[in-house]
Amino acid sequence: MTEAATRFVTPVTFQALTGEPVFVDQWDARIDDNMAHIALSRRADAMLVAPATADFLAKLAHGLADDLLATMCLARDCPLLAAPTMNRQMWLHPATQRNVAQLVADGVTILGPASGDQACGETGLGRMLEPLELVDELAAFFVPRTLAGRHVLLTAGPTYEPIDPVRGITNLSSGKMGFALARACSAAGAQVTLVAGPTALATPRGVQRVDVRTAQQMHDAVMAVLDAPPASGTLRPDVFIAVAAVADWRVANASERKLKKRSADDLPKLEFAQNPDILAAVARRADAPWCVGFAAESEDLEANGAAKRAAKGVPLLVANIGHATFGRDDNELLLIDERGSQPLPRADKAQLAQALVTEIARRLPPRRG
């Protein structure tokens, strides 16, 4: 911590919350040779300064070393990242912008800042990224950019088919696997468009999100992205990953008013119509992107998954037991392609997403010009 940082939160508070020692003094006696700037920096795979104030960015840009943190940054032999935090006018000041440009030229990775409400009461650029966003950014920093230059379009979450204005048919999908995969694709360097069914999950940083409710809306949103004319800075999707648990049927005679409870021998007569098959429709296109399907099965995982891959006409099918994963933070997957099957053992969905991105990148054909 810098001396200024200790004016906001005491070292004792940080130590109590983290269970880790906190260092402030360059001459801390807990370090055997009193060279904390060397000993501490050599333990790190990366250093992240958060918050990085205008003053500290200026120190870094000019190589000053008048406190422990600045000296550590000069003495490091690992990557350095900084999360700027300051008033909007301070961020936009030419001096700050010169310092940031110099730091980028020196190889420092700048994370943010974000725009929003500031402690001073003003609004604008200068907010530090949220802590969980910084965790995601730091994790992504170490991920190989295996999908750089790719645009990944994916679906996630459940769909909801209305019966009447207050009731509907849905499923237990939480969207966690699809959102983890969107985050992993973005970390691997891809431009990501996420078409999401009803879920309360936060949008992964850097991901373009389109919210829908029904299967038909999800189909239309996917096709709209595929049919959109090229725009500046936007790549045409060349990978499609269908993770969403899409309803196979919808209620054809959904009521515009709430259906009232009646006698047991006078139940509402629901009529069903088949929803569009989004994955098959995308795979059939003449300009189809490279497609990955997901299959949520209840039994005979390999046989059912292989049959679905053949029926959909996709190069890769990812199968799992639906009721054993919906709503959970972990999962296990079976990858099925023309060569056979390959299991991905049970793990956290974020870890599985990273492993799946590696497998997708390995299988992808060269990008079309």
Residue type, 101: A
Residue 262 has pLDDT above 90, yes or no: no
What CATH fold (topology level) applies to the domain 151-363?
A: Rossmann fold (3.40.50)
What pLDDT, in 10s, does the model give residues 157-205? 999 999 999 999 998 889 999 999 999 999 999 999 999 999 999 998 8
Residue type, 312: K
What pLDDT, in 10s, does the model give residues 25-40? 887 778 777 677 777 8
β-strands 123-127, 114-117 pairing = antiparallel
CATH class of 5-141: alpha beta
Confidence of residue 109 (pLDDT cuts 50, 70, 90): very high
Which helix H or strand E contains 303, and what residues bound it? Answer: helix 301-312
- Cα separation of 108 and 60, whole Å? 10
Q: How far apart are the first and last CA of the chain?
A: 50
Same fold: 5-141 with 151-363 = yes
Residue 369 has pLDDT above 60, yes or no: no
Q: Please tell me which residue, 31 or 335, carries the higher pLDDT value.
A: 335
The answer to whether the bond into 230 is cis (omega within 30° of 0) is: no
> What pLDDT shows up at residue 368?
64
pTM of the predicted protein model: 0.81
Catalytically active residues are: 120
Judge whether 204 and 184 are in contact, CB under 8 Å.
Answer: no
The answer to whether the bond into 51 is cis (omega within 30° of 0) is: yes
What pLDDT, in 10s, does the model give residues 247-258? 999 999 999 999
What pLDDT, in 10s, does the model give residues 234-247? 788 999 999 999 99
> What pLDDT shows up at residue 296?
80
Q: Which residues, 6 or more positions from 4, have their beta carbon under 8 angstroms from its beta carbon?
A: 53, 55
Query: How long a stretch of residues is the chain?
Result: 369
Domain boundaries along the sequence of the chain: 5-141, 151-363
Which helix H or strand E contains 241, and what residues bound it? Answer: strand 239-242
Q: Per-residue pLDDT averaged across 70-88, rounded? A: 93
b/e per residue, 206-231, with b = 16+ CB within 10 A? bbbbbebbbbbbbbebbeebbeeeee
> What pLDDT shows up at residue 263?
79
